[in-house]
Amino acid sequence: MTLLLRNRGAFLLLMLNLFLVFTGIGLVIPIMPKFMELLGISGSLVGLLVASFSLTQLLFSPLAGRLSDRFGRKRLIVLGMTVFAVSEALFGFAEQPWLLFASRLLGGVSAALIMPAVMAYAADITTQEERAAGMGYINAAITTGFIIGPGIGGYIAEFGLRVPFYAAGVAGLIAAALTLFVLRESNPAQAGAAAADPTAQPSAASGGRRSSLIGQLLTSHREPYFFSLIVVFTLSFGLANFETVFGLFVDHRFGFEPKDIAFIITFGSIAGAVVQVTTFGWILNRFGEKRVISICLLFAGAFILLTLFVHTFWLIFAVTFVVFLAIDILRPAISTQMSKLAGADQGYVAGLNSAFTSLGNIAGPIVAGVLFDLHIGAPYALASIVLLLCFVLSTRLRSGEPGASR
């Protein structure tokens, strides 16, 4: 409660920015079946379209993490929100598939600029004891936006297929303006030093092994939080598999309309967000990161598999609710674990977190789209297997090993 009262305005702005960005990712999901008909595209192309967002997010995230350490968090957030607004407007105007791809590529750049900066900002203004609660608030905005985006898209699409994207663009510009004029810089010393001497080099602690994306990824196995990065990838891969084809799955199998899809996803996301901002800190302190991560992996994998065996609206609703709830608890648990191990390199570690998220979000949609064209249930079978295998691996790690809770 102290955390919320002391930094209430800053956290609300950070949450608003992330909520909008990740809502923008999910807006298209309930609308995509209609876009498939309108533009004549296949499930495989849908997968590539979703993955293109994560490709540019992957390429830009490590750089953005370093820039937020060097130039300050606020500048990166404002720039990212401006790019987000442009990308959403472009998607709304698109009449050809290549314009959809251009929009998603720009959207990935915006997420890469914003996500590490926001994560690092939250770490700047919290203590070790407050970190779990702070990450709970931030990740509530991420998961709520990512999962509620399809719900918002489905409802607003009643006013026109492209209206959700125009609305997101306007909201992005408003959020950028609010951040520019209201949010204080949380890392003023480094930001001021960078402005005074833009030719200054990174410190030894942040140089060398962090000089390139490939170098960072290849050496990440040496880090104490490497298993957490593996879980981040697995979670992103499984969720991307699940959510990329969810609208297509229920549309083809049950004939659900965008409003039906919106209801299922919206309710699950709201429940998950409530847990994150009310009881997540208690859950993590009571059971520890390692145990929470293992249990959530088990439930997410098992209930994604159950999706293939239910046949009514309310059973699909119940299964999807559990999947989203497990993911909503799992994501901030991983972020908290890595943040505690990051020390002074919050921006860098947040960048790696974003990079591994992007790897999963690239592979997941591509594989899901191809498998969907082969068999409607294949994407969910694979997502379940991957998450359950990661659960087995998580149970074999002893506390104190890399990636385990300390």
Q: Is 212-398 in the same CATH topology as 1-191?
A: yes
Q: What pLDDT, on a 0 to 100 scale, did the predictor assign at position 346?
A: 66
CATH architecture of 1-191: Up-down Bundle (1.20)
Scan for tokens 């891969």, then name that residue: 237
**201 pLDDT above the threshold of 50:** no
CA dihedral (51, 52, 55, 60) positive or negative: negative
**86 pLDDT above the threshold of 90:** yes
Counting Cα atoms < 13 Å in the Cβ hemisphere of 378 gives: 14
Percentage of the chain modeled with pLDDT above 90: 9
Write down the pTM of the prediction.
0.66
The highest-confidence range among 53-62, 242-251, 298-307, 367-376, by mean pLDDT, is 298-307
Q: What pLDDT, on a 0 to 100 scale, did the predictor assign at position 248?
A: 75
Measured CA to CA, the distance from residue 294 to residue 188 in angstroms comes to 38
CATH architecture of 212-398: Up-down Bundle (1.20)
Of the ranges 147-151, 168-172, 366-370, which one carries the lowest mean pLDDT score?
Answer: 147-151
- DSSP assigned state of 197: -
- The answer to whether 357 and 309 are in contact (CB under 8 A) is no
Q: What pLDDT, on a 0 to 100 scale, did the predictor assign at position 87?
A: 93
CA dihedral (380, 37, 103, 366) positive or negative: positive
CB count in 10 Å sphere of residue 259: 13
- Tell me the pLDDT tens digit for each residue of 355-365: 787 788 788 88
> Is pLDDT larger for residue 258 or for residue 382?
382
3-class SS of residue 260: helix
Scan for tokens 């799992």, then name that residue: 330
Q: For residue 61, give the amino acid letter.
A: S
Mean pLDDT, residues 135-144: 74
Q: What pLDDT, on a 0 to 100 scale, did the predictor assign at position 390?
A: 85
Q: For residue 45, give the amino acid letter.
A: L
Measured CA to CA, the distance from residue 370 to residue 382 in angstroms comes to 12
Measured CA to CA, the distance from residue 84 to residue 354 in angstroms comes to 16
Quick one: which of 103, 8, 6 has its CA closest to 52?
A: 103
> Is pLDDT larger for residue 99 or for residue 7?
99
**62 pLDDT above the threshold of 90:** no
- The answer to whether 224 and 402 are in contact (CB under 8 A) is yes
* Domains in the chain: boundaries: 1-191, 212-398
Q: What pLDDT, on a 0 to 100 scale, did the predictor assign at position 204?
A: 37
